[in-house]
Structures are given as structure tokens and as C-alpha cells.
Structure 1
Amino acid sequence: MNLLDDAVSRLERWEFLDRVAEPVRKAAHALVGPRAVRNALSGIPTGHPLHAVLTDVPIGAWSMAALLDVKGLLDAENGRGSEAAADLLVAAGLVAAVPTAAAGLNDWSDTYGPTERVGLVHAAANTVALGLYAASLAARRAGRRPAGRALGLAGLGVLAVGGYLGGHLTYSKGVKVSHTAYHEGPLDWEDLLAEDELADGAPKVVQLGEIPLLVTRDAGRIVALDNVCTHAGGPLNEGTIENGCVTCPWHGSQFRLADGAPVLGPASAPQPSYETRVRDGRVQVRAKK
């Protein structure tokens, strides 16, 4: 284990952070509670987690501002244009950081344990970076360019720490990664269960190879969805089914039974949905083409 991995591992085990996280989580849930806010920040309109997309804007703006600041230092006589562009990029990054942070807060509010702790420090680092860039912009506008440059470079350094932790959350902990990414159903019809097993209307969980399927009736039609919630892997069969939707018991994501489309975050990826038919009293399924 290298030094960075060891440091992150210590963060994951630092239980003191739980005391800070709980009140922050309650406040976050209050802020993102309305359906329209929850869905927008989760990325349901685009079908892709919103936070990951938005981070490119402030990171890109502030990185380019740093390059222009360095150019201004190396070429003081011709650096006026670089200075103005750098100031504009710092301001643009500050504006873009607001929705980026909101989307990140939404994603973090449904994490727990080690992931929650790392996410809290990730957010803290990015907040410090945001403060440094705000101070940098104020110094630039007050004519204190050396201080503005120094604050901007300090902000970029802290941002790199936050970015590293963000990468760990995504690539090592799987935050906002679809938990059905490698669930590939059969292209040909396969036998699943007897139709009369659904006579009582209760949902059934049936294994299709290594994939657990939630099978039930929706408005008289047999439907089948992957039973593993795309958001965090929750068992959908333990949730509630009403109004043509199933609600995950873990974080409240809702999916349409008819096609698996998410209708309430935090999930943004749809549930894999299967075609169904009945032959000789047996329910058969295949992946939708």
C-alpha cells in the first residue's frame, strides 16, 4: 500500500467524522428533498450522474487560469491579456462550482460508513479551494495581483486533493456507478417460472443465471426488472410497489415497472428491463433489443 492509499484508508476508518456527517446529511436531505431538485441533481434528465459532468467546468477553468498566471509571470510586458483572461476564468470557475457542489452534496447524502467519511473530506477540501479562489478573485480586483496568483495556485493545490478523493469515491468505492453495469441478459427467450406462480399478485425474485429478476404484474401485464438497484445495489423486492413504480428500500430511488426508467433519484441509470411472454403456461424473458 502506498502513502496515498494508506492516508485514504485512515480516513475511511476515522469514526470521528461520523459526528460531523450526520447533521450535514440531515441538512442535505432537507435541501434536496423536493422531487424536481432531487431528480435534477441526480442526473435523471440526462441519464448520467450530474456531478461528474459539472466538475470538468470549474477544474478546467481554474487549471487554465493557473497556466495564464504563470504566463503572466514569465512575460510581464505582454501579460495584460493573460491577466484579464485568468481573472475571467477564476470567476467562471466560482460560478460553475455552485451547481457542481450541489450535485455532489446530493450524491454524498446517500453514502454511509467509509464512503461517507471520505466524501466529507472530499467536500471539505473542495470548499477550502472554493474559498481560496474567491479570495483570489477579490485580490485580483483590488489590484493585488501577486496575492491573487498565490491564492489561486494554493486553491489549485487543495483542489487536487479533493479531486484525488473524488476519484477514489468513484473508481474504488463505486459511488454513482451503476450496480447492474455487467448484468447482461439473454438475447433469446429463456424459461423463468410458471405463470400461476404470479397468481397472487405478489412480486417474485427469480434467478436468471447470475442475475436476480423482479417479476410481477403491472396493469395486468407481466413485467421483469433487474432486482439490483442501479444506484447502490439495494434489493428492489424488499421495497414497495405502487402506482406502476417500485421504490428501492435503501435510498428511495423509484423506477417505472413498465420500462425500468428512473422517476425519482438518487438513481440516474435505468433498471435493466426485460421482454416477457407466456408460452404453455410458462413465463419467458429476454433482454430488450
Structure 2
Amino acid sequence: MMIRRSGVPAILTVHGWVMDEAITALRMNPRGNFHYIFRIINWILHRLIFIPLIYSRVTAIARIKLEKNGINGVVIPNAFITADVDKKVANCKNLSFDDFTLVTYVSVGGSLIKGMERLSRIITEVNKRTDRKIQLLVFGTPVETDNPHIKMMAYRDDFLCYLKSADMIILGYEMIELGYAAMEAGYLSVPIAKFKSEFEELEDGVHGIIAESEEDMIKKLVKTIEDPSLVREWGENLRAHVLKTRSPQVIGEKWRRLILEVTGMSPDATGKG
């Protein structure tokens, strides 16, 4: 409440699906994830008291974050820092795979709730329909699976080295925003395979595969495996899109205009005296 009394505008940025992630964590391991109870209480207080009374604006990196959390706000995507990726991949060993290789990254959230079972079905079916084998490397939160074409990689410092050497990154759920792993893939010219979402910003056949259904994803993956030139073209297109829409300059300008708005200044102000 000190913020409100001070007269200084406050902006709240929401990350993730707050309640969904907390409830999922508690279901997976009630005792080990007991601290998520406090996150739920904290979020209820924010919804009922803090957001209406304290904050001038609420932001999120994607529309889905606002909708899943039941709040109104402004969408400002994450900026992408290319230097971070350049540094991490500078000393990567040359990884090569015999199989067509997909990479995915899962955590406590949409990717873990919906994604892995769907991806397992897709990988199994694609392997039935093509002579060239396809494998999926899963990074992040380990998930139990008996699928021989899926390898659990857990959390690794050399994730970007594997991503750089992969053919595509695949997402098993409707991810509207470009998450950081997807932006890293794009910057490394690795195209994406994902399911079409309500506010889709990527184009099917331009940035990768944007599928309407599981069957659509399977058919398009089979076609892609048999025509590797598509992967190279899509990868370059996705790289150009990431650099154009997620640069610090572009995202910084969005923040500048929002801050000027909440402080009552003209959006055309330059800040130069």
C-alpha cells in the first residue's frame, strides 16, 4: 500500500499460468511442492486486493497469460538477447544425429499438463509412416515414458548445443507466445513445429509447421522429413522473424510508451532535455 500512497505508478508483470502451475505442482508432489500453497494465497490476494488498488497497469508476455489468469492487461513480449545465445553456443561440439531429431522443453505448466502424451502419440505414428526414423529429445522436467523414440535429457547446461544440432523444435500444446526456447531455436535457424493457437503469430509453411490437429502435425512432419530443404528455409525465416519482432530495441519501445502512458507523459516524448 506504500506504493499507492506514494503516488508512484506501479506495473505488475505476470509470468506463467499462476493457478494452473501451482495446482499441477501440488498434484504431482503435494509434500515436496507444499510451498505452492503460499503462491496460491498470494495470487488470490493480488486478484482481490493488490491489482485493483495498487497497480496502474498489468502486463504479460502473451494474451494467453492474461486470459488464463483472468485479468486484463497489456501484452509486451520478452526481448531476445542474441549475445547470450552466441556465448553459450560458441564452444559447442559438433553433434550429429542419424535420426531426424526434434527437441522439446517441458516444465510445470502447459507443456507438462497436455504436451507429452500428445507428442508421444505423434512420434510413434510418424515412425510408422516413414522409412527414416524420428527421435524426440525432451529437456527440462523429466516425464515418465516407455516410448523408445523419446529420450529424457532433463536439465542440461548444453541444451543449446543440442538445439542447434536438431532439425526442429516441437511444442505439444497450444503455445501462443514465442517462449524463450522457441526464440533461441529461431535465432539458431531451427524451425518450429507447433499447434495453431487463437492468436497465432507464426505462419504455417513459412516459419515451420503450424498444425490444426494431431493428424495434420503427423502428415506435415512426414512430408518435412522427406524434404529436408524445407527445414533450412523455415529456419532462416524464423530467425528473421525473431530478430525483427523481439529485439531489445523493439520491446524497449513498447515499455517506453507504456511507462509514459502511466506517468501521464506524451508517448512522443523522447526523454531528452
Tell me if TM exceeds 0.5.
no
Structure with bigger gyration radius: 1
TM (norm. structure 2) is 0.27
Richer in helix (by share): 1
